[in-house]
Amino acid sequence: MSLDFPLILVILVFGTGLIWLADRLLLAPGRQRSHETLRAQYPGWQDEGSADARRFAEAAQRLPREATIVEYSRSFFPVLAVVFVLRSFIVEPFQIPSSSMVPTLEVGDYILVNKFTYGVRLPVLRTKVLDLGEPKRGDVMVFFPPHMNDTYYIKRVIGLPGDIVSYRSKRLYVNGEPVPFEQLAVLPEGRSRVQLGLAELGGRRHLQQINLARPARDFTVTVKPDHYFMMGDNRDNSSDSRVWGQVRERDIVGKAFAIWMHWDSLFSVPSFDRVGAIE
């Protein structure tokens, strides 16, 4: 079972914040009054080496102190709050775990996802509170798939609400029009051949690959209202809307817009050769 990091972060932020606030409102004033009373009792408490200073130090040891959990909450809350705001509403980093988006994204790519392009959403609840835009054909989008409600997926937006998406003989059609595809090369891959080319969606071109040895899985589907049809750029090695269905609007996480690092494994050296915008 995967950890629900957004939920954990929300709990940590509000937990540390409430502990710190409760202490400041309920307990800290009492500690402050006790110290003020003690300073009034020993007016020479600041004179180093004096009798008042010695008695004040001894008496101060017996006064109520800030609890350890309050000290930790006060230290961690500002850091957690900044991380919470950045990650929930502005930008979030992700790692690419599979080859479904090859050649656009490779396993080990670390990417950045814009969290407000498609509107501001409440973390955990996923409720949109501010509508700033909608996904466009060709966008690379992060979302929760319908069959796994706690796992991030990343695919390309193929069909918008109301679109008719068809796939025939490994050619993609949207609303009856073929998606332009320019072949760049045919490369050997084991016992099969892979067709590498440039496809055009939404007026933008992106890399795509097709395994010519695998049989075509033809289909025609109409995209439901408030849903999106997603497919991987590695057409024959991608679990996407052809397998688990369409993505609901409320399950959108954000738009992937940049690669900032590539790191194959823990024991390899990170590379920055692939840094750049995601097409």
Q: Catalytic residue positions?
A: 100, 155
Listed in sequence order, the residues at least 6 apart from 163 whose beta carbon sits closer than 8 Å to its beta carbon are 174, 175, 222, 223, 229
Instruction: Give, in order, the Cα–Cα distances in Å from 79 to each of 56, 83, 91, 171, 274.
Output: 35, 6, 16, 49, 30
Q: Is 248 left (phi over 0), alpha (psi -120 to 50) or beta?
A: beta
SS3 229: strand
What does 136-200 look like in DSSP terms, one character per residue? -TT-EEEE--TT-TTS-EEEEEEE-TT-EEEEETTEEEETTEEPPEEEEEEEEETTEEEEEEEEE
What is the phi/psi pair of residue 202, to 5°? Answer: 65, 30
Instruction: Give, in order, the Cα–Cα distances in Å from 60 to each of 35, 46, 63, 64.
Output: 7, 13, 5, 9
What is the phi/psi pair of residue 29, to 5°? Answer: -60, -40
Of 249, 225, 31, 36, nearest to 135 by C-alpha is 249
Q: In the numeric block, which tokens belong to residue 46?
A: 């600041």
* Residue 110, amino acid: Y
- Could you give the CA distance from residue 254 to residue 91 in angstroms, rounded to a whole number? 9
